[in-house]
A and B are shown apart, each in its own frame.
Chain A
């Protein structure tokens, strides 16, 4: 089954304790992206990657790191989490060769709810 998986689904942690949220896709997609979703602010992009070893900042990259060592994986790293990073996080992937009009169809994971106390 084609899917994007994220782990963990729920995480409660304390300020300053480094954490990693994993993301994996089995569709051989080149493009992967991380978003955070907050009430009233919608989905905002954190980082994205067009292919292996290629990553770029999105709209809200501060406090986050990513890596793309393999095509299927795109982990999100919070080196020193703070309470303002409490949010619902989504990983997404798409093929850059299959465009819907001018845009890519993005496939989203089920989300990771992170609470930083």
Chain B
């Protein structure tokens, strides 16, 4: 099973700061999904990226798929306490998703 490496593992920042989290694999994948999981809840899909070099924006969140389709990044501009949570990337593998280890983000007011 090809694992997805996410970095950093933990991130604590002040409200208003910018941040980037990364998702990397040694193999090419056809698409990548980003989920956010809040405490006590299941993950919720944020976005899917499919094309190499693709950039998608979701309000203050910008998602990028690497040109070689081996990596992806999530950039948050002016982070808010409501952005706090566990960010997971997941790659499609035939009939299942393989998840990364996650980045736990804490945004302090």
Q: Say whether A65 faces chain B, with CB atoms less than 8 Å apart.
A: no
Asked if B96 is at the interface of the complex by the 8 Å CB criterion, the answer is yes
- Contacts A42-B88, A103-B48 given; does A56 touch B43 at CB 8 Å: no
Residues on the A chain within 8 Å of B100, using CB = 42
Q: Return chain A residues, CB-CB under 8 Å to B31.
A: 100-103
**B interface residues, tally (CB under 8 Å):** 27
| Cβ contact within 8 Å between B99 and A42 | yes
Known pairs A102-B50, A103-B31, A103-B33; A108 contacts B96 (CB<8 A): no
Compute how far the CA of A40 lies from the CA of B102 in the bound complex, rounded to whole angstroms.
8
| Beta-carbon contact of B101 and A48 below 8 Å | no
Given A40-B101, A50-B95, does the pair A59, B45 have CB atoms closer than 8 Å?
Answer: no
- Distance A111 CA – B42 CA, assembled complex (angstroms): 6
Contact B42 A110 (CB under 8 A): yes
Tally of A-B Cβ pairs under 8 angstroms:
73
Where the two chains meet, the residues of B that have a C-beta atom closer than 8 Å to any C-beta of A are 1, 4, 30-33, 40-45, 48-50, 88, 90-92, 95-102
With contacts A100-B31, A102-B92 taken as known, whether A90 is within 8 angstroms of B42 at the C-beta atoms is: yes
Verify if A82 is at the interface (C-beta below 8 Å from B).
Answer: no
Which residues on the A side are within 8 Å of B99 (C-beta)? 35, 42-44
Q: Kindly state whether residue A7 has any CB partner on chain B within 8 Å.
A: no
Per the 8 Å Cβ criterion, residues 85-117 of A in contact with B are 90, 92, 100-106, 108-111
| CB–CB A43/B92 < 8 A | no
